[in-house]
């Protein structure tokens, strides 16, 4: 995917964060997985497909990545938040939740190497994959060299801390989806 296509994931006039632009370049270097089964993906900003057709709710998310089953990773633009300081959330068919305070914290979670990060966090399941992604070592080195980021030492603590700093995402989302 090229950057022009990826820009459509963001609200008009909003610049794609540097971290994601560079991650897209990294991702495009090989078709091999680099962090579990996560990948940046194309998702038109405001696409309400996952939100039961509710475009007002859909516009509060900038979907930037996906899992192999169609689950989504997004920046949650709740009131007062912008792409620059939005928390990262997971939107899955069998679980949703707030994952990280921001993109840097999310990248640290990705670097941990969980096979399906969003589901592992949502279900408090095992985070260690049976076998790491083929490019996990390369991804970790790239994160360290590019941004000074390292794998989260305690992924569940990262998630717990983020959840104390933001509104209750699960309750908010359930209310929004129930009203439509």
- CA angle at residue 48 from 35 to 56, to 5 degrees? 115
CB 150, CB 141: distance < 8 Å = no
Per-residue pLDDT, averaged over 17-23, amounts to: 98
The model's pTM? 0.94
Per-chain mean pLDDT for the chain: 92
Is position 100 within any domain?
Answer: yes
Q: Which two tokens stand for residue 175?
A: 């209310």
123-141 tens-digit pLDDT: 665 566 678 899 999 999 9
Domain count, the chain: 1
CB 80, CB 88: distance < 8 Å = no
Cα 136 from Cα 157, distance rounded (Å): 22
pLDDT of residue 118: 82
50-99 tens-digit pLDDT: 999 999 999 999 999 999 888 999 999 999 999 999 999 999 987 799 99
Write out the residue range of the structural domain in which residue 97 sits. Answer: 3-175
pLDDT of residue 68: 86
Q: Closest Cα to residue 101, out of 165, 48, 53?
A: 165
Is position 50 within any domain?
Answer: yes
Cα 47 from Cα 118, distance rounded (Å): 21
pLDDT of residue 120: 76
Per-residue pLDDT, averaged over 8-34, amounts to: 97
139-162 tens-digit pLDDT: 999 999 999 999 999 898 999 999
Is position 180 within any domain?
Answer: no
161-180 tens-digit pLDDT: 999 999 999 899 988 888 76
Is position 88 within any domain?
Answer: yes
Q: Closest Cα to residue 63, out of 49, 76, 78?
A: 76
Cα 3 from Cα 67, distance rounded (Å): 20
Is position 81 within any domain?
Answer: yes
């Amino acid at each position: 995917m090229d950057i022009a296509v990826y820009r459509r994931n963001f609200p008009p006039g909003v610049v794609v964060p540097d971290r994601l632009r560079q991650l897209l370049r990294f991702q495009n270097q090989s078709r091999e997985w680099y962090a579990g089964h996560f990948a940046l993906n194309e998702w038109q900003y405001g696409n309400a497909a996952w939100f039961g057709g509710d475009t007002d709710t859909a516009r509060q998310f900038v979907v930037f990545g996906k899992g192999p089953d169609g689950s989504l990773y997004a920046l949650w633009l709740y009131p007062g938040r912008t792409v620059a300081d939005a928390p990262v959330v997971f939107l899955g068919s069998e679980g949703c939740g707030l994952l990280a305070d921001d993109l840097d914290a999310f990248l640290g979670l990705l670097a941990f190497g969980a096979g399906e990060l969003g589901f592992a966090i949502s279900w408090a399941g095992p985070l260690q994959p049976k076998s790491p992604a083929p490019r996990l070592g390369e991804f970790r080195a790239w994160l360290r060299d590019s941004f000074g980021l390292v794998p989260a030492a305690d992924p569940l603590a990262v998630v717990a801390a983020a959840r104390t700093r933001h509104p209750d995402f699960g309750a908010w989302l359930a209310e929004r989806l129930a009203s439509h």
